[in-house]
């Protein structure tokens, strides 16, 4: 397996990320060495929160929460998934799968002998983390997720499957703007159409990510995490499409932080490939998902569902999470969109502190 490693200097002068790096080397399915990065912050004798990110971000997403959590007495461990952040980046599309990420991160968990953990996962952090919990349940005390879930869709009509197949084969290229439009519609249709199937909108994100070699990760994060003119972000995006992002006068701290892990487009295979592995259609993960959901159906571990409530991608998922885990409690929706760790850092931190410290996490912080 060819594995890329981002040079350390790419992370110099990243605003608001002063954390000491920790590295663990695990073995991949072909016995290659894969180095996984994590940060470990807060009081070393405090209760431990394992916080996992999704696509296309990295542990930088938790940098605004860590001071609040640490002040609340919580020790925070936040890894970078393989393909993201300071972790190594397998270079081929075939290297990435849902199962590989679960296997890699479970190895990382065991090798560090982390235990007595409370868990929080968002986006792919939830999909991967929930499966890790079923692999090593005795290491976890409490579970919380938001803007995420454990999709299981064994029965999808042939009509839906054919529509997705034809769309993926279509030669027309998507732009960031056309995808954003479809994702906004996705949120509305979740609540207005009883027969809505998320695959028909999520396929836009999957196709865009895979077919865009230089995925505009910094601009995508800027759209959702900072308040500035959309015209400015659009200008930077257009310069990036022309290969001129390094001389763009429209960059920002957010854009620089989320582009830092990727010296060139060859490093972006993880963020490009992973959306296609979200199991919203029947695929190779079907039986593993079924088994994992069965675990949570009967688990008595405290479980908190803490969704933003205004994320168009995941608005319809919380009800499925609550069906999957009958003992789960639902925290108040705090807003902040898909990346509410950044946009509602203090509010989300308070909810998680209350949950970890056995207070009623369903109260408004």
Handedness of CA 238, 239, 241, 246 (dihedral sign): negative
The answer, yes or no, to whether residue 188 has pLDDT greater than 80, is no
Q: Which two tokens stand for residue 21?
A: 């790096």
What's the rounded mean pLDDT across residues 45-67?
A: 98
Rounded to the nearest 10 degrees, what angle do helices 199-211 and 158-169 cross at? Answer: 20
Q: Encode pLDDT of 200-255 as tens digits.
A: 888 999 999 999 999 999 999 998 999 888 888 888 888 888 888 888 888 899 99
In sign, the C-alpha dihedral spanning 315, 316, 321, 322 is: positive
Whole-number pLDDT of residue 229:
84
Confidence at residue 365, expressed as pLDDT on a 0 to 100 scale: 47
**Is 194's pLDDT higher than 60?**
no
pLDDT digits (tens, 9 = 90+) for 108-166: 999 999 999 999 999 999 999 999 999 999 999 999 999 999 999 999 999 999 999 99
More confident: 350 or 230 = 350
What pTM was computed for the model?
0.93
Report the alpha-carbon distance of residue 327 to residue 97 in Å, rounded: 30
**Given a cut of 80, is residue 362 above it in pLDDT?**
no
Helix or strand or coil: residue 332? coil
Domain ranges of the chain: 3-152+281-356, 158-277
> Active-site residues: which are they?
123, 311, 338
Is 3-152+281-356 a CATH 3.40.50.620 domain? Answer: no
């Amino acid at each position: 397996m060819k594995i890329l490693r981002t040079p350390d200097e790419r992370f110099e002068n990243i605003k608001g990320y002063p954390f000491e790096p920790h590295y663990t080397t695990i073995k991949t399915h072909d016995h290659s060495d894969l180095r996984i990065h994590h940060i470990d912050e807060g009081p070393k004798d405090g209760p431990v929160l394992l916080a996992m990110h999704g696509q296309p971000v990295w542990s930088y997403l938790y940098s605004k929460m860590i001071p609040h959590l640490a002040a609340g007495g919580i020790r925070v461990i936040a890894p970078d998934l393989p393909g993201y952040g300071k972790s190594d980046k397998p270079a081929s599309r075939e290297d990435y799968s849902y199962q590989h990420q679960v296997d890699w991160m479970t190895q990382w968990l065991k090798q560090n002998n982390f235990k007595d953990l409370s868990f929080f996962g968002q986006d792919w952090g939830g999909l991967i983390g929930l499966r890790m919990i079923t692999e090593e349940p005795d290491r976890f005390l409490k579970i919380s997720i938001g803007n995420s879930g454990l999709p299981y869709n064994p029965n999808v009509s042939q009509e839906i499957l054919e529509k997705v197949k034809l769309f993926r084969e279509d030669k027309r290229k998507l732009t960031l703007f056309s995808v954003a439009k479809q994702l906004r519609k996705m949120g509305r249709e979740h609540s207005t159409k009883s027969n809505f199937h998320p695959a028909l909108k999520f396929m836009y994100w999957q196709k865009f990510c895979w077919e865009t070699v230089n995925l505009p990760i910094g601009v995508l994060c800027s759209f959702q995490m900072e308040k500035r003119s959309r015209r400015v972000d659009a200008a930077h995006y257009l310069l990036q499409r022309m290969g001129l992002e390094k001389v763009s006068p429209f960059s920002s701290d957010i854009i620089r932080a989320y582009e830092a892990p990727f010296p060139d487009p060859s490093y972006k295979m993880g963020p490009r490939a992973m959306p296609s592995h979200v199991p919203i259609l029947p695929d190779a993960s079907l039986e593993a998902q079924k088994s994992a959901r069965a675990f949570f159906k009967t688990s008595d571990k405290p479980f908190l569902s803490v969704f933003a409530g205004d994320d168009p991608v995941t608005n319809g998922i919380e009800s499925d999470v609550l069906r999957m885990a009958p003992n789960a409690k639902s925290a108040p929706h705090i807003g902040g969109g898909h990346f509410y760790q950044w946009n509602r850092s203090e509010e989300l931190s308070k909810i998680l502190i209350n949950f970890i410290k056995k207070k009623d996490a369903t109260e408004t912080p």
